[in-house]
């Protein structure tokens, strides 16, 4: 209810909290971004501003029809997923979320990333069956209708491919946009049945320690999961942001393992078998392993890296969203941790020499995207922007140097498609040059 | 981590907390909904259940292409909005959210309700201008790009048409589904600039008490809003569930007045003018008024009913989602209040004689949808299901009798399209008959 007037000078006195113009997270921004009426509409605009606004064509004619399922404006046609396989050749198809063009903490269903290895199946939910068997007292078959009679639960959760951010393994920074670098992670509100309910219904044999989950599409993708996760927060997800799952995200049902590597969240789920030990399936033995430094281990690899560790990246500004003039901007980004809630995000505008606390958008939810923001005054010189996140379980995002120290010198990666290296969560750096152009950098 | 086996008998002993089978909100449900493997797959299914599952066609062939913007499965083609004007005649077009087929607390963007009076405009955001003028020190013009340099904020908020639930004014219960009865309310995560930032930037003249907001589409829909709301939680919304606004929801920008009547949340926002008193525009003087009881006031009307009062409805079961057999079901529904957070939802299965507390899905957010759920054992006899909500500001949802006492005997409404009566938030009743058919009822 406060009514006071503000001048550009007020804003110029906003407290700088770290190098190169980072302002306090509660600073209000100045008039740098505004067009004053007089500028666009002539000196007499104040009294008759409305009348002088030109009437655009959409104010003079009837608009378009209302569709049963609405989709974005034709003027938002760049706000789409990028496709790794645009000619739909017989190989895997990856689609990446355009985080640089989104805001908030939700990925809309149309833009949730997908990876499908043999196309997206057209599954008739009335014919789909989901079986729990193996080391259980009573193997049971579930249909979509039968699952809908169980207690449902809803939660936001991010899903991230173990290969997200793989371009950062390149020895030199790959010049690509945020979508290409970090687009294999998305976040939705999922609703479904807790797997623990169904497992208890079946009666778990005490010898069961793992389960194998398998998809119904042609690759029958199969992963081994510790039973403890199945009894913790695992869910058979049926709804995504309120509506039935998208076809590329597992319609009519998928396994959701909040915070765990995307590939484990088996889509088109048709089977869970309780077993005593992991199956060592193709995906866990051949694909989702991370080589260790040669010198330390003789070339061994990590196995079963389940958790997507704490990560963050700045979405705006980012490559392709260049700054047109010096002045005040808001730095905005996404942070998440597969272990819990984001506790803190810090931002640097001087390549890591000084840091400032970003504001976290409430509610901060466990294993979900958290939007962070901080005002920033760009003076027009070159700067390096970075974000770094901490979670509430005591983990923090490593710098690039720390990550290399732990995982060894990073190998060259032939393209952003490479599966070779997984689970990189090092700090991402954006270099802004004196012209306002934003590029991917290592710092 | 508990491992125990459960039998149907366990569940039959679940605590009944109100009449006609309402169970404690933490009761786990029984096996009523399951198919045991033996039933579908023969007596030897336990050992070789997986092998005996028939391989459906989608497990034997490559699937569909990955699109840049994904849309629902062809098997979810009934999960769409219903259209009031399917032939797109030159009149208003209403589309309603299919709440009976959704879950969770988010309305996906494809299914958010819309009302457009002269079609949906195709607005080029690069050419769109938003003006603040009138009783301000400096009138200012904003573009989409300039707004993106201001501090953004995100929040979930429902939007509800003042005419939502209007069929409940009918003296006899209209036999329609939930979508037809309550489909003019939806909830999304909105991201944008707080209007208070922009108003302070312009410098508010102390004589300003109201503002008039106007849309850029052909009807130039215009509403008067108290300035106090503009300085409270009003937002110029730019993103809806993370992506740019949908065309039918106001792309490229809309006024968001959390908790206030949908029509006030001006879409395609082009102008806000600060004034001393309301404009008494067509929409506020002719449409959005509610007649008072004749006897009490001589036929006067309420004016400026801004707030959507606390409301709830059961989404499942509901008309069209009939119960196929006696047994255990989950009752699920949505509650919301334009004044704050939902504090409590109670459910009755005996027409209001006894009530039980439903579980509220966390996080419960102010002026947003809250999902509630409660397990229920249907014995096969006729029952009346009702839900009733309380908010944290001391308001509660009236019974139908209480609502009629306050607003007078309800008039006949010729169709579910009627604009005549607005803002009805009385308890909704579903009658389940002995065959499991669900119908709209008054009780």
pLDDT tens profile A239-249: 999 999 999 99
Min Cα–Cα distance to chain A from B14, Å: 14
The answer to whether the beta carbons of residues A320 and A100 sit under 8 Å apart is yes
Residue-wise pLDDT for B251-262, tens only, equals 999 999 999 999
The CA distance from A33 to B157, in Å, is 27
Could you give the dihedral angle defined by the CA atoms of residues B169, B174, B177 and B180, in that order, rounded to the nearest 10 degrees? -50
CB neighbourhood size of A85 (10 A): 17
Pick B49 or B135 by higher pLDDT. Answer: B135
Question: CA torsion, points B35, B39, B43, B44, in degrees to nearest 10?
Answer: -40
Task: Give the separation between CA B66 and CA B264, rounded to whole angstroms.
Answer: 39
pLDDT of residue B419: 44
pLDDT at B407: 80
Which of B287, B116, B137 is closest to B218 using CA atoms? B116
What gap in Å lies between CA A49 and CA B136, rounded to an integer?
A: 12
Give the span between the Cα atoms of A141 and A125, in whole angstroms: 14
Alpha helix segments (H runs only) across A187-317: 195-202, 227-230, 282, 294-297
- Cα–Cα distances in Å, from B390 out to B335, B346, B375, B394? 9, 9, 20, 7
Structure tokens at B341: 């957070």
Q: Which residue has the higher pLDDT, B429 or B26?
A: B429
B397/chain A closest Cα distance in angstroms: 24
Burial of A408 (0-12, 13-18, 19+ CB in 10 A): middle
> Measured between alpha carbons, how far is residue A10 from residues A5, A28, A31 in Å?
10, 9, 10
Answer yes or no: do A133 and B37 touch at CB < 8 A: yes
Contact B147 A33 (CB under 8 A): yes
Cβ proximity of A22 and A378 under 8 Å: no
Whole-number Å distance between alpha carbons of B22 and B349: 7
Cis upstream peptide for A317 (omega within 30°): yes
CA distances from B234 to A384, B144, B254, B303 (A): 35, 17, 10, 21
Q: Per-residue confidence at B47, pLDDT binned at 50, 70, 90?
A: very low
Q: How far apart are the first and last CA of chain A?
A: 45
Residues 217-276 of B with CB under 8 A from A: 217-218, 220, 228, 231-232, 238-244, 246-249, 251-252, 268, 270-271, 273
B244 contacts A80 by C-beta, under 8 angstroms: no
Give the DSSP letter of residue A184: S
Residue A296 pLDDT: 54
Tell me which of 3.30.1490.20, 3.90.420.10, 3.30.70.1520, 3.80.10.10 is the CATH number of domain A130-302: 3.90.420.10
State the best of A24, A44, A103 to mutate against chain B, taking most chain B CBs within 10 Å: A103
- Contact between B167 and B416 (Cβ < 8 Å): yes
pLDDT tens sequence across B228-279 = 999 999 999 999 999 999 999 999 999 999 999 999 999 999 999 999 999 9
Please answer whether residues A109 and B70 qualify as being in contact, where contact means their C-beta atoms are separated by less than 8 angstroms. Answer: yes
Contact A191 B244 (CB under 8 A): no
CATH 3.90.420.10 domain span(s) along chain A: 130-302
Cβ(B46)–Cβ(B381) under 8 Å?
no
Best-predicted range by mean pLDDT among A295-304, B369-378, B400-409, B419-428?
B369-378
Whether B327 and B33 have beta carbons less than 8 Å apart is answered as: yes
Neighbours of A406 (CB within 10 A): 12
Closest CA to A188 of A242, A226, A235: A242
Q: Nearest chain A Cα to B221, which residue?
A: A59
- Residues in chain A closer than 8 A to B212 (CB atoms): none
Nearest by CB to B68, which of A63, A83, A142?
A83
Is the pLDDT at A33 greater than 70? The verdict is no
Round to whole Å and give the CA distance between A136 and B68: 42
Among A106, A221, A267, A330, most B C-beta atoms within 10 A, so best to mutate, is A106
Contact B194, B234 (CB under 8 A): yes
Token pair 């449409």 is found at B287
Single out the residue of B320, B333, B429, B330 nearest to residue B385, CA to CA. B429
Query: Is the pLDDT at A136 greater than 90, yes or no?
Result: yes
User: Which tens digit of pLDDT belongs to each residue from A259-307?
Assistant: 999 999 999 999 999 999 999 888 887 777 666 655 555 556 667 889 9
> Is any Cβ of chain B less than 8 angstroms from the Cβ of A35?
yes
Instruction: Determine whether the interchain pair A123/B83 forms a contact, defined as Cβ–Cβ distance below 8 Å.
Output: no
**Residues of chain A found within 8 Å of residue B65, distances taken between Cβ atoms:** 88, 93, 119-120
Residue B14: per-residue pLDDT: 63
SS3 A130: strand
By C-alpha distance, the chain A residue nearest B194 is A28
The predicted pLDDT at position A295 comes to 54
Q: How confident is the model at residue B27 (pLDDT cuts 50, 70, 90)?
A: confident
- Over 50: is that where the pLDDT of B40 sits? no
Q: Please return the burial class of A198, using the count of CB atoms within 10 Å of its CB with bins 0-12, 13-18 and 19+.
A: buried
Chain B residue nearest residue A112, CA to CA? B70
Q: Does the structure show a pLDDT above 80 at A43?
A: no
Three-class SS state of A261: coil
Q: Count of residues for chain B?
A: 443
What are phi and psi for residue B198, nearest 5 degrees? Answer: -70, -35
Range of lowest pLDDT (A6-15, A321-330, B223-232, B329-338): A6-15
Short-list A246, A247, A254, A259, CA closest to A215: A254
Q: Could you report the per-residue pLDDT of B310-343, keeping only the tens digit for each?
A: 999 999 999 999 999 999 999 999 999 999 999 9
Angle B24-B30-B31 from CA coordinates, rounded to 5°: 165
Over residues A65-87, the pLDDT tens digits come to: 999 999 999 999 999 999 999 99
Q: Whole-number mean pLDDT of chain A?
A: 88
Q: In this structure, what DSSP letter does residue A75 have?
A: G
A426, A399 Cβ separation under 8 angstroms = yes
CA distances from B10 to A171, A370, B105, B337 (A): 60, 41, 31, 37
d(CA B372, CA B359): 5
Domain(s) of CATH 2.60.40.650: residues in chain A: 311-441
Q: 3-state SS of chain B?
A: CCCCCCCHHHHHCCCEEEHHHEECCCCCCCHHHCEEHHHHHCCCHHHHHHHHCCCCHHHCCCCECCCCCCCCCHHHCCCCCEECCCCCCCCCEEEECCHHHCCCCCCCHHHCCEEECCCECCCCCCCCCEEEEECECCCEEECHHHHCCCCEEEEEEEEECCCCCHHHHCCCCCCCCHHHHHCCEEEEEEEEEEHHHHHHHHCECCCCCEEEEEECCCCCCEEEEEHHHHCCCCEEEEEECCEECCHHHCCCCEEECCCECHHHCCCCEEEEEEECCCCCCHHHHHHCCEECCHHHHCCCEECCCCECCCEEEEEECCCCCCCCCCEEEEEEEEEEECCECEEEEEEECECCCCCEECEECCCCCCCCCEEEEEEEEECCCCEEEEEEEEECCCCECCCHHHHHHHHCCCCCCCCCCCCCCCCCCCCCEEEECCCCCEEEECC
Indicate the length of chain A as a whole number. Answer: 443
Please write the tens of the pLDDT for every residue from A427-441: 999 999 999 999 999
- Residue among B337, B306, B187 nearest B249 (CA): B187
3-state class of A82 per DSSP? strand
Cα–Cα distance list, A56 to A53, B121, B122, B124 (Å): 9, 11, 11, 9
Label the pairing between strands A254-256 and A269-275.
unpaired
Among A188, A259, A365, smallest CA distance to B189 is for: A188
Predicted local confidence at residue B283, as pLDDT: 82
Contact map slice: A 288-327 vs B, CB within 8 A: 316, 327
Mapping DSSP to helix (H, G, I), strand (E, B) and coil, where does residue A431 land? strand
pLDDT confidence of residue B16: 87
- Which pLDDT score, from 0 to 100, does residue A45 have? 37
Q: Which of A28-32, A144-148, B231-235 has the lowest mean pLDDT?
A: A28-32
Query: What is the overall mean pLDDT for chain B?
Result: 88
**What tokens were used for B317?**
């079961």
pTM of the predicted structure, to 2 decimals: 0.92
Contact A85, A95 (CB under 8 A): no
The confidence score (pLDDT) of residue A283 equals 82
Among A48-52, A103-107, A357-361, the least confident range? A48-52
Going by C-alpha positions, the residue among A184, A189, A186, A196 that lies closest to residue A237 is A189
Under the banding of pLDDT at 50, 70 and 90, the label for residue B408 is confident
Q: Burial code of A218-228, b = ≥16 C-beta within 10 A, e = fewer?
A: bbbbbbbbebe
Q: Which residues of A touch B39 (CB under 8 A)?
A: 141
Tell me the Ramachandran region of residue A392: left when phi exceeds 0, alpha when psi lies from -120 to 50, beta otherwise.
alpha
A405 confidence band (pLDDT: 50, 70, 90):
confident
3-state SS, residue A198: helix
> Do you find a cis peptide bond into B363, omega within 30 degrees of 0?
yes
Please give, rounded to a whole number of angstroms, the shortest distance from the CA of B132 to a CA of chain A: 9
Chain B residues whose CB is inside 8 A of the A108 CB are: 108-109, 240-243
Confidence of residue B51 (pLDDT cuts 50, 70, 90): very low
Cβ atoms within 10 Å, residue A243: 25
Instruction: Dig out the tokens for B322 from the structure.
Output: 């009939």
pLDDT in tens, A381-392: 999 999 999 999
Answer yes or no: is pLDDT of B33 > 50.
no
User: Average pLDDT in the A115-125 region?
Assistant: 97
Percent of residues, chain B, with pLDDT higher than 70: 85
CATH number given to B311-441: 2.60.40.650
């Amino acid at each position: 209810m406060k009514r006071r007037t503000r001048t550009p000078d007020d804003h110029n006195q906003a407290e700088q909290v770290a190098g190169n113009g980072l302002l306090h997270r509660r600073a209000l921004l100045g008039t740098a971004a505004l067009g004053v009426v007089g500028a666009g509409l002539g000196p007499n605009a104040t009294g008759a501003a409305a009348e002088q606004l030109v009437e655009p064509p959409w104010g003079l004619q009837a608009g378009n029809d209302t569709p049963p399922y609405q989709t974005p404006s034709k003027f938002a046609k760049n706000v789409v997923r990028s496709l790794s396989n645009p000619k739909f050749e017989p190989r895997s198809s990856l689609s990446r979320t355009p985080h640089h063009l989104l805001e908030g903490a939700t990925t809309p269903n149309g833009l949730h990333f997908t990876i499908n290895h043999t196309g997206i199946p057209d599954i008739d939910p009335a014919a789909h069956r989901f079986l729990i068997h193996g080391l259980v007292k009573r193997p049971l078959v579930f249909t979509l209708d039968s699952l809908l009679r169980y207690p449902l639960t809803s939660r936001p959760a991010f899903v991230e491919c173990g290969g997200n951010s793989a371009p950062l393994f390149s020895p030199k920074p790959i010049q690509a946009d945020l979508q290409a670098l970090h687009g294999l992670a998305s976040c939705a509100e999922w609703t479904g049945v807790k797997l623990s309910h169904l497992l208890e219904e079946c009666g778990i044999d005490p010898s069961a320690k793992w389960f194998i989950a398998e998809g119904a599409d042609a690759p029958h993708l199969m992963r081994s999961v510790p039973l403890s996760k199945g009894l913790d927060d695992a869910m058979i997800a049926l709804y995504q942001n309120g509506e039935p799952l998208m076809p590329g995200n597992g319609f009519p049902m998928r396994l959701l393992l909040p915070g765990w590597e995307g590939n484990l969240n088996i889509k088109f789920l048709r089977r869970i078998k309780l077993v005593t030990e992991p199956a060592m399936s193709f995906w866990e033995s051949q694909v989702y392993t991370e080589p260790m430094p040669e010198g330390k281990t003789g070339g061994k690899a990590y196995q079963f890296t389940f958790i997507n560790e704490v990560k963050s990246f700045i979405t705006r500004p980012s490559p392709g969203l260049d700054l047109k003039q010096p002045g005040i901007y808001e730095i905005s980004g996404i942070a998440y941790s597969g272990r819990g809630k984001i506790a803190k995000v810090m931002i640097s505008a001087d390549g890591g020499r000084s840091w400032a606390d970003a504001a976290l958008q409430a509610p901060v939810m466990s294993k979900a995207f958290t939007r962070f923001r901080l005002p920033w005054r760009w003076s027009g010189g070159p700067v390096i922007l970075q974000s770094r996140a901490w979670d509430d379980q005591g983990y923090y995002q490593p710098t690039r140097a720390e990550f290399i120290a732990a995982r060894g010198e990073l190998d060259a990666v032939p393209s952003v498609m490479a599966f070779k290296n997984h689970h990189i969560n090092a700090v991402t750096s954006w270099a802004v040059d004196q012209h306002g152009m934003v590029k991917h950098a290592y710092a």
